[in-house]
Amino acid sequence: MDLRKKSIIIQQVTSYYTYNMKKFYSIIALSLLLVSCGSSENGSVSQTIESGNLEAIRNMKANLTSELNVIESDLAALEAAIASLDSSENLPLVTTFEVQPQVFNHYLDLQGNVKTRENVLLYPEMAGTLLSVKVAKGDRVSKGQLLAVIDNGGMSNQLSQLKTQAALAKTTFERQANLWKQKIGSEIQYLQAKAQAEAQANAVLQLEKVLAKAQITAPFSGVIDQVLKDPGTVVSPGNGSEVFRLINLSNMYIDVDVPEGYLGAVTKGKKVGVYFPVLQDSVNAVVRETGNYINPNNRSFSAEIAINNPNGSIKPNLNARVHINDYTNENALLIPQSVISENAAGEQYAYVAELNGDAAVAKRHIITTGKTQGDYVEIISGINAGDLIIKEGARSVKDAQAVKILN
């Protein structure tokens, strides 16, 4: 037999031996697992459950978990041995990324409503017929501007008469005062003239105040949102006789209920991101004020967030999604949630690729997680800056298994 044929036969025998050794190790491990689980299920597990002894059930669960961990460790050791002995082993392909400290801002997501303190219905202060309406819906008005006039029932004529009488009383008093300075007339005449002049002046002022109620004026600057009564309508003070709705859209805020657990985190001056789903628009704002009262019904306190509304697109009672910054870490270690798994003991872990020359080994690291924002989780312990975290392929590798890094 020539040398080339001998070489081919040796390679085939070696490959067959390696393949069967791997099958042999796998069969042994699987048999151990089946025997362990089978004996437990057929015998003691069912008997322990039927006994109803909670402590015994918990002890058996702990024992089985310990056995499972030992079996997994043995399987990992066997896989590592196979990988080291078999140069033809196909290594799992993985991708990694390096963990680096970065700024992490956590936001509390809440639902809020847009409000304004300058959203009022304007009522008449005098009963009568609405003579004229000076504005229309959508008009911008200034504070003190005349909006409507109500029939005063002839009181304007009474005011004219009172003003004439007041003028006469004033003239009479002035003349009587001059005479009194010259020691002409009696003091009582002087005092009577003075009292008459003051009484007439007060009567004019009083009637002017009453007549002012026949006019509806703007209490603040804003926009006429509704004109609720037409000229000729009989109006009177009280519910049902509102004439206008006046709104100021430049002084808007969002009112939101914050759970009491965030009392120390959500304070005045905190940065806030606001999103309006209807408008598909976002704005940045800050917390203007926080409440000092915990609502016993929902265990929350109120927070007031001032917002700018330059183009008037934000309306009262508009729904808003509020993101309040309640936590910041300047040097946080973040990894995707997709690379985190959980073992039988309830511990979270991720795989770190440890380089060994040209090769790499996947090492399971038990981790402690912090806050979550989006798809990323803050790592409190178990992973250090600079570690290579296995991303693609993290669900298919095992502890201490050799891997091949694609990136």
Tens-place pLDDT, residues 74-133: 887 887 777 666 654 577 888 899 999 999 988 889 999 998 888 889 999 888 888 899
**First-to-final CA distance of the chain:** 47
Tell me the C-alpha distance between 119 and 249, whole Å.
9
Q: What pLDDT, on a 0 to 100 scale, did the predictor assign at position 27? A: 47
How far CA 217 is from CA of 41, 126, 132, in Å, comes to 86, 13, 13
Confidence label for 23 from pLDDT (cuts 50, 70 and 90): very low
* Residue 282 to residues 203, 323, 329, Cα–Cα distance (Å): 57, 11, 24
Nearest to 229 by CA among 376, 130, 308, 89: 130
Model-wide pTM > 0.85:
no
User: Where residue 407 falls among pLDDT bands split at 50, 70, 90?
Assistant: low
Q: Quick check: 237 pLDDT over 90?
A: no
Give the pLDDT band of residue 12 (cuts 50, 70, 90): very low
Name the nearest CA neighbour of 363 among 96, 57, 30.
Answer: 96
User: Residue 369: what pLDDT?
Assistant: 92
